[in-house]
Amino acid sequence: MAHLSSTVSFRTSLRETVTNYVMLTKPVIVALLLTTTLGGMLIAARGLPPLSILIFTLIGGACAAGGANALNSYIDRNTDKAMGRTSRRPLPSGKISPRSALIFALALCIASIFILGLGVNWLSATLSTAGIVYYAYVYTVLLKRMTPQNIVLGGGAGAIPPLVGWAAVTNELNLLALYLFAIIFLWTPPHTWALMLLVEKDYRKVSIPMLPAAWGELEARRHIFLYSILLLIVTLMPVLYRGLSWIYLIGALILGVYFLTLAARLWFTPNQAKPIAKKLYHYSNGYLALLFVFMVIDVVILRP
């Protein structure tokens, strides 16, 4: 009986440990980044790429994204502890030690370089590594505490995964790949600021100048609206470039007009700012994924 109890306790402890390390990588963010990586691959290949490239790219991409997120958590562990939204994460809550988290994060980052470099190509590995450095150092260490425009300047880190997917298939980049980068680059500020409107008190408490906390709710709502206009315009550029066609155009217009409608409501109805910001934040996640779905459908159905 004691042996059975010990076995059950070990399994429970192992499951909790694995769960904590998985949560350290911010799996929801990893899933979204892998969606855009996969989208970049499918668009570049105009269908399914070779299975080995697909598997190695997604595994390497997951390691890179998870490792970068874990590094971000390690660097921000003290700040996260002071904020209500993040205080229950594995590091600030003490479920994982800082040393273990750092070793885990570095191991994932190093693994991603070799998986992509040896299993795919070195251009994809280089781009992925640039994304890790961009997010963990340029954004988290330098920009985050320096300027309210941190998420604008640092947003390029999250826009790199489709470039990794594209490079994995073609071993080069072209104008359409750069449009994918630009779309995510412009999507990141309104997506992030919508969330920041909901938790601005946390950032004031720890003196991190996220735009709503530093410049106020009014300025944040205005910026969200302006960036949403830019986002809609840039999402239509691949059609003008003729990299994508009418199927994508219809999808991008439907998704983008609703995104802009929410942003306009947020700007013009300040008394409902919090519920609209919450709706916009949740919609923006699905928006990006569906936008890439329309791209993939377009190139697969209308492939030359």
Predicted confidence (pLDDT) per residue in 111-144, tens digit: 999 999 999 999 999 999 999 999 999 999 999 9
CB-based contact 267:224 (threshold 8 Å): yes
CB-based contact 256:235 (threshold 8 Å): yes
Tell me: do 105 and 77 sit in the same domain.
yes
Q: Is residue 7 part of a domain?
A: no
- Considering 128, 150, 173, which residue would you say is the last residue of a domain? 173
Q: Is residue 265 part of a domain?
A: yes
Tell me: do 158 and 178 sit in the same domain.
no
- Considering 132, 152, 173, which residue would you say is the last residue of a domain? 173
Q: Is residue 4 part of a domain?
A: no
**This prediction's pTM:** 0.92
Tell me: do 21 and 162 sit in the same domain.
yes
Domain boundaries, position 208: 174-304
Q: Is residue 11 part of a domain?
A: no
Q: Is residue 8 part of a domain?
A: no
65-109 pLDDT, tens digit per residue, is: 999 999 999 999 988 888 878 888 899 988 999 999 999 999 999
Tell me: do 137 and 217 sit in the same domain.
no
How many domains does the chain divide into? 2
Q: What is the CATH number of the domain that holds 144?
A: 1.10.357.140
- Considering 128, 144, 173, which residue would you say is the last residue of a domain? 173
| Alpha-helical regions (H) of the chain | 2-24, 27-45, 51-75, 77-82, 98-119, 122-133, 150-154, 161-170, 175-205, 211-215, 217-240, 246-268, 273-301
pLDDT of residue 274: 93
Tell me: do 165 and 73 sit in the same domain.
yes
Tell me: do 274 and 294 sit in the same domain.
yes
Tell me: do 125 and 235 sit in the same domain.
no
pLDDT of residue 4: 46
Q: What is the CATH number of the domain that holds 216?
A: 1.20.120
Tell me: do 208 and 116 sit in the same domain.
no
Tracing tokens 């489709």 back to the chain, one arrives at 162
Tell me: do 199 and 242 sit in the same domain.
yes
Q: Is residue 10 part of a domain?
A: no
Tell me: do 109 and 202 sit in the same domain.
no
pLDDT of residue 7: 56
Q: Is residue 12 part of a domain?
A: no
* Low-confidence stretches of the chain (pLDDT beneath 70): 1-12, 303-304
